[in-house]
Structure 1
Amino acid sequence: MKKLFITRPLPESVLSAAREVFDTSVRQSNLPLSAHDLRWVLREYDVVLPTLGDIFSAEVFEDVPDPRCKLLANFGVGYNHIDVAAAARSGILVSNTPGAVTDATADTALLLMLMSARRAAEGERLVRSGAWEGWHPTQMLGMHLSRKTVGIIGLGRIGQAIAQRCFYGFGMRVRYFSRTPKMMEFDARRFESLTEMAREVDVLVACVPGGPETRHLVGADVFHAMQPHAHFVNVSRGDVVDETALVAALQDRRIGGAGLDVYEHEPKVPDALRALDNVTLLPHLGTAAHEVRNSMGMMAIDNLKAFAASTPLPNAVNAV
């Protein structure tokens, strides 16, 4: 029986499925693996189920020239914490869990759009403070989302799910920035320039994969292009956004507000960002639903089972 190491506690149904096939060890900490442990699991286990924060860099793989591990079955669709090319050079496959997170992440994007546009987090803090003096006609006026224009950065599975919710749920006009045109069942206009799209929209939503190609894709030029009333939402990866530029745009009120579920140096959130009243901050809740985390885990287990059976991985992201 192959040895499996799971780097974080997972739903019991997922662990039970893993134990049916593997000699399974489950780490009981929710913190990322240490530098020592990253190398240790590559030496000691046949397969590893890592997740966000477990930084398998090229340096880690180089330090373990003959790894026992042959598969990193990532728990999550994003895998920018794993150097996939370096893993392949070490003879290690990498898989992920696409599809399972689509609806939950799209729902979180809409949640942040509403919370930011309608100042929900600010209002909740006001009520909790005891300083609310009651309803009046000009109290905390925000922006109505219906029939506004949304700009989506990246129109993959999640981006398309966001577009559908915006179009059918709120009657919004859809614009998108993507390397290639996408076929949608409703009108969705593609932009080849992100700043040009940013000038036109009322809400700008980032949902692209993380990695070197998208690092700081959204920076000062994008925030300067946005309309003063427009809101920015990020449900992708924190380093897709130049966080310093975002803080400056919010401090100077150059944009209407922001809703964030991810951060550039997560879990560290800058004091300057936390101090602002025009930003909604969530603790990376994008896929935080029982059904979703269970589906993610089972998809990771399916990849592990395929590996054990020497059959093609359902969700491979590299080849060796």
Structure 2
Amino acid sequence: MKPTVFITRKLPDERVEPLREKFNIRMWDSEDEAVPVDLLKKEAAEVDALWTMLTDTINSEMMDNAPNLKIIANMAVGFNNIDVQAAKEKGIIVTNTPDVLTETTADLAFALLLSTARKMTSSEKELRGGGWHSWTPMGFTGMDVNGTTLGIIGMGRIGEAVARRAKGFNMRVIYHNRNRKENAEVRADFVANLDDLLHEADHVLILAPLTEETEGMIGERELSLMKKTATLISASRGGIVDEVALYEALKNGTIWGAGLDVYKTEPVHVRHPLLTLPNVTAVPHIGSATVQTRHAMMKLNAQAIIDVLEDREPANRVG
């Protein structure tokens, strides 16, 4: 009997076809809506492999009731949606999709920085709404990017890629990371104390993973350390920033603006308080969203499933 794979979103046929040749494939029939939790539990209990999205929570209880499950292939770099320790204890392999989305996500992070600093979202809204009546000396004025200081929190592959882009804008780059990354210091200076980075940077970019240590690490106190002219760009996981504190800081002028690609709870409701502020540039978690990159991520997931179900060690194993 062929092994069975459950895919938690509807994916392009060309990415699924290599699996169909070898395995029984079950796939949730929606591209836009997450698979219902009850159905995910039912499928997990019966299949040999799960191909998951970052919106799917795979916890220890679900794995307890999945006696045949051998691999969870997660279509993301992050894997905080999966209890990796529980998977390890149960002998279930977890894989992710690093590297292939590095440059694409760095492009988005830097674009979000530029858009926020130069008020592109709010000024476009004024233009489309008929609010632009005349050129004015201080109309739609933003903050410089060229020649300023960029502070990166979380200096992984994406952070290093952003630092390369920043050098093209003549920026001074500083970074804070759990461990010093000396190979990154060709373009960036290490700052051991996060408070110092927040105080010095004109633009703060969050690229750290969401862990117990980083959850809520940017709150009211941290925001108060930033310059009143500073921007905060969040492009890794939303739970790192206290959104209530960020709303107050933006509303009260504690900081100048924010660019957000990620949020504590996704998708974000249209009435989310941060979306009401003119000094917020917000996009719907599109860091890796190019056709080429998403297909590359799918290809990695498919190959990992094939490798594990054919008793080979997969690339990109995280647990």
TM-score strictly above 0.5: yes
**Post-superposition shift, 1:26?**
1.7
Give the stretch that moved more between structures: 233-242 or 130-139: 130-139
Matched, 1:121 2:130: no
Answer yes or no: is the 8 Å Cα contact 1:118–1:144 preserved in 2.
Answer: yes
- The residue number in structure 2 matching 1:306 is 307
Query: What is the CA deviation profile of residues 94-128 of structure 1, one whole-angstrom value per residue up to 9, with x for unaligned ones?
Result: 10000111111101101110110000000111011
- The residue number in structure 2 matching 1:275 is 276
- The residue number in structure 2 matching 1:54 is 56
Answer yes or no: is the 8 Å Cα contact 1:33–1:53 preserved in 2.
Answer: no
- The residue number in structure 2 matching 1:176 is 175
Q: Give the TM-score taking structure 2 as reference length.
A: 0.95
- The residue number in structure 1 matching 2:131 is 131
- The residue number in structure 2 matching 1:165 is 165
Q: Summarize the alignment of residues 37-186 of structure 1 with structure 2, pairs less than 5 Å apart.
A: 37-62=39-64, 64=65, 66-167=66-167, 169-182=168-181, 183-184=183-184, 186=186
Q: Distance in 1 between matches of 2:132 and 2:53?
A: 42
Q: Distance in 2 between matches of 1:67 and 1:221?
A: 47
Q: Distance in 1 between matches of 2:248 and 2:109?
A: 22
Answer yes or no: is the 8 Å Cα contact 1:67–1:90 preserved in 2.
Answer: no
Mark the CA change 1:121 to 1:298 in structure 2 (over 3 Å): closer, same or farther.
Answer: same
SS in 2 for 1:40: helix
- Structure 1 unaligned spans of 5+: none
SS in 2 for 1:170: coil
Answer yes or no: is the 8 Å Cα contact 2:164–2:187 preserved in 1.
Answer: no
Query: What is the CA deviation profile of residues 134-170 of structure 1, one whole-angstrom value per residue up to 9, with x for unaligned ones?
Result: 3222211111101110000011111111111111x20
Q: Distance in 2 between matches of 1:101 and 1:304?
A: 19
Q: Give the TM-score taking structure 1 as reference length.
A: 0.95
**Post-superposition shift, 1:185?**
6.3
**Post-superposition shift, 1:219?**
1.4
- The residue number in structure 2 matching 1:265 is 265
Answer yes or no: is the 8 Å Cα contact 2:154–2:176 preserved in 1.
Answer: yes
Give the stretch that moved more between structures: 211-220 or 45-54: 211-220
Q: Which runs of 4+ in 1 moved over 4 A?
A: none
Matched, 1:228 2:189: no
Give the stretch that moved more between structures: 83-92 or 26-35: 26-35
Q: Distance in 1 between matches of 2:172 and 2:128?
A: 36
Q: Distance in 2 between matches of 1:141 and 1:67?
A: 60
Q: Distance in 1 between matches of 2:257 and 2:18?
A: 43
SS in 2 for 1:121: helix
Q: Distance in 2 between matches of 1:5 and 1:213?
A: 32
Q: Distance in 2 between matches of 1:161 and 1:252?
A: 33
SS in 1 for 2:132: coil
- The residue number in structure 2 matching 1:290 is 291
Answer yes or no: is the 8 Å Cα contact 2:153–2:206 preserved in 1.
Answer: yes
**Post-superposition shift, 1:276?**
0.3
- The residue number in structure 2 matching 1:256 is 256
Give the stretch that moved more between structures: 52-61 or 280-289: 52-61
Answer yes or no: is the 8 Å Cα contact 1:41–1:69 preserved in 2.
Answer: no
Corresponding letter in the other structure for 1:28: D
Q: Distance in 2 between matches of 1:305 and 1:114?
A: 41
- The residue number in structure 1 matching 2:207 is 207
Q: Distance in 1 between matches of 2:175 and 2:14?
A: 38
Q: Distance in 2 between matches of 1:31 and 1:211?
A: 26
Answer yes or no: is the 8 Å Cα contact 1:13–1:294 preserved in 2.
Answer: no
**Post-superposition shift, 1:13?**
2.1
**Post-superposition shift, 1:38?**
2.8
Answer yes or no: is the 8 Å Cα contact 1:73–1:94 preserved in 2.
Answer: yes
